[in-house]
Structure 1
Amino acid sequence: MDTPETLIDLDRYPIHQMGGARDDILTRIRADLGRDGCAVLKRFITPEGIEALKTQADGVADKAFRSFNRTNPYFTRDDPTLPASDPRRRFFERSNSFIPADNFPPASPLRAIYEYPAMSAFIQDCLEEENFYPYADPLADVIINAADEGNGFPWHFDTNNFTVTIAIQNADEGGAFEYAPNIRVGDENFAEVEKVLDGTSDKVRTLVLEPGDLQIFRGRYSLHRVAPLRGKTPRYVGILSYVEEPGMVGTPERCQQLYGRTLPIHHERAGQRADAYLD
């Protein structure tokens, strides 16, 4: 049976032991997050763990919801009252697929990592968030993004304040992670978002993650995308979501777009957010 102790390289990253090396890791991660809202822990998952996660992803890949549509960075509808150059009116082809959270039972490796108390405590300490809770969305708390050749994810902001991802398997080519750090801190900053969409921004950075890498990312504030993929090998990325308010779930519109369905809880809790950003 896969356990957090066999899945996570606790020799390299002793997240379960207070003080010492853990504090050194926290210092580095906090500096990276403070600088550009993104931090990477290379080889966080053991080779055995990578294989277990890959096997799990292969086993439920047919459960992925695949969608092909056009979206703006906020996943909102077009507003003809705005100028054509406004980011809210800039729509791009989105072709991607997500394996919803209800395909990962408690005994599965990805959920074992997510529900490991030392893991959530470590992530909270990295982010220095006083309010920190597991995402209550039964379709989205722990998911896998499964992308095939030609797929990609256009520029967008995340629904959650912070997202944790685990690189499981890369495509043969492509799939680089591109992001514009912290351009939506304090306000929507439509002018800078427009520059990113136009390809004229000097704020965009490129990151290539390898299987086993853990990424902590403040995607609610940093515009980001995944470049199109090439080759026959699918790209698998596990996504672990935490939020700043208990009981938070995705909007019905967002869940329908990403997972092809909603549950009663999405409609019951619609509009319960901790901020007023568009998405």
Structure 2
Amino acid sequence: MTLDASRLIDLERYPIHCNGTERDALLAQVRADLARDGCAVIKGFLTTGGVAALVDEANSVADQGHWSKSRTNAYFTKDDPSLPEDHPRRQFYDRSNAFVPADNFSPDGPLRTVYDAPGFDEFIRDCLQEENFYRYADPLADVIVNVAEEGNGFPWHFDTNNFTVTLDIQNAETGGAFEYAAGIREGDENFDEVARVLNGTSDRVTVLELEPGDLQLFRGRYSLHRVAPLKGNRPRYVAIFSYVQEPGMVGAPERTKQLYGRTLPIHHERAGQRGDAYID
């Protein structure tokens, strides 16, 4: 049975598919939030039934997630002994969580029904006000679910994708706050301020508590961010929809292997094709 996006998304409250004053007002608010610090949250974007449907789907595929435990720096690069010991590139942290790759989600399932909903891409593009706007072409990563359990978090890092759109599906019992330092490397790497975030002395960190059904737009390519450790028996599920500035972009082979446990031929064929020169 084909799902109806209107049963998953609260289109009465957020008519993203219809031009008009309500959509315009929503756009204005999201744009203002993005301009302020690169982060905007649309509270209760999903209906109660939509949240339940996505929780059921996430439960059904959670065992397909690639679980990994590793020590990573904010750039997902290897240690560089030529740098000082206190350099941000030499600060490594434990990481333990899972990503359920995109090819585990049915084209007519609830997650992709939200992603393919009429007006969804256009709304996201209008929010970001980007002329160059494309779905991430990575067949393992265009729309995924992150799974984390007690003790797990995602340490400080920058995103590979220029724009990240996330949908909170299920929270852990406690913990799991989203923390970010907005625009910390807008224009350059800004290692000094990155170091202050990592050692806990920066005054640029915002702590954000998201709830199931909240839609978040985030410019994570330029903002250092993390998910705080979790507590309790209930796993945390967050869907990630990815958009980029260049057509045909996919993840680098090394990072794809880290996150999803495998690569596809396309990752090797398009290795090195990026629209910026940041070290990750």
Q: TM-score range by the shorter chain?
A: over 0.9
How far apart, in 2, do the equivalents of 1:104 and 1:21 lie?
32
Match of 2:41 in 1: 40
Match of 1:239 in 2: 240
Residue type at the aligned position of 1:18: N
How far apart, in 2, do the equivalents of 1:47 and 1:41 lie?
15
SS at structure 2 position matched to 1:116? coil
Shift of 1:21: 0.5
Unaligned runs of 5+ in 2: none
Percent identity between matched residues is 68
How far apart, in 1, do the equivalents of 2:17 and 2:112 lie?
17
How far apart, in 1, do the equivalents of 2:183 and 2:70 lie?
27
Moved over 4 A (4+): none
Shift of 1:60: 0.3
SS at structure 1 position matched to 2:247? coil
Match of 1:197 in 2: 198
Match of 1:187 in 2: 188
How far apart, in 2, do the equivalents of 1:210 and 1:116 lie?
21
Match of 1:6 in 2: 7
Match of 2:273 in 1: 272
Deviation digits for residues 53-81 of structure 1 (CA, Å, limit 9, x no counterpart): 00000000100100000000000111110
Alignment of 1:133-152 (within 5 A): 133-152=134-153
Deviation digits for residues 196-216 of structure 1 (CA, Å, limit 9, x no counterpart): 001000000000000000000
Are 1:76 and 2:77 an aligned pair? yes
Match of 2:26 in 1: 25
Residue type at the aligned position of 2:233: K
How far apart, in 2, do the equivalents of 1:11 and 1:188 lie?
42
Match of 1:214 in 2: 215
Shift of 1:2: 2.3
Deviation digits for residues 166-218 of structure 1 (CA, Å, limit 9, x no counterpart): 00000001000000001010011111000000100000000000000000000
How far apart, in 2, do the equivalents of 1:103 and 1:250 lie?
18
Are 1:223 and 2:224 an aligned pair? yes
SS at structure 2 position matched to 1:171? coil
Match of 2:259 in 1: 258
How far apart, in 1, do the equivalents of 2:3 and 2:160 lie?
30
Structure 1 length as normaliser, TM-score?
0.99
How far apart, in 2, do the equivalents of 1:235 and 1:40 lie?
18
How far apart, in 2, do the equivalents of 1:207 and 1:188 lie?
24
Shift of 1:85: 1.0
How far apart, in 2, do the equivalents of 1:159 and 1:43 lie?
27
Shift of 1:107: 0.6
Residue type at the aligned position of 1:22: R
How far apart, in 1, do the equivalents of 2:236 and 2:92 lie?
24
Q: What is the total number of aligned residue pairs between the two structures? A: 279
SS at structure 1 position matched to 2:119? helix
Shift of 1:19: 2.4
Deviation digits for residues 195-244 of structure 1 (CA, Å, limit 9, x no counterpart): 00010000000000000000000000100000000000000000000111
Alignment of 1:151-190 (within 5 A): 151-190=152-191
How far apart, in 1, do the equivalents of 2:84 and 2:4 lie?
53
Alignment of 1:121-136 (within 5 A): 121-136=122-137
SS at structure 1 position matched to 2:221? coil
Deviation digits for residues 16-61 of structure 1 (CA, Å, limit 9, x no counterpart): 1112100000111000000000000000000010000000000001
Structure 2 length as normaliser, TM-score?
0.99
How far apart, in 2, do the equivalents of 1:23 and 1:115 lie?
21
Shift of 1:115: 2.0
Alignment of 1:43-122 (within 5 A): 43-122=44-123
SS at structure 2 position matched to 1:8? coil
Match of 1:249 in 2: 250
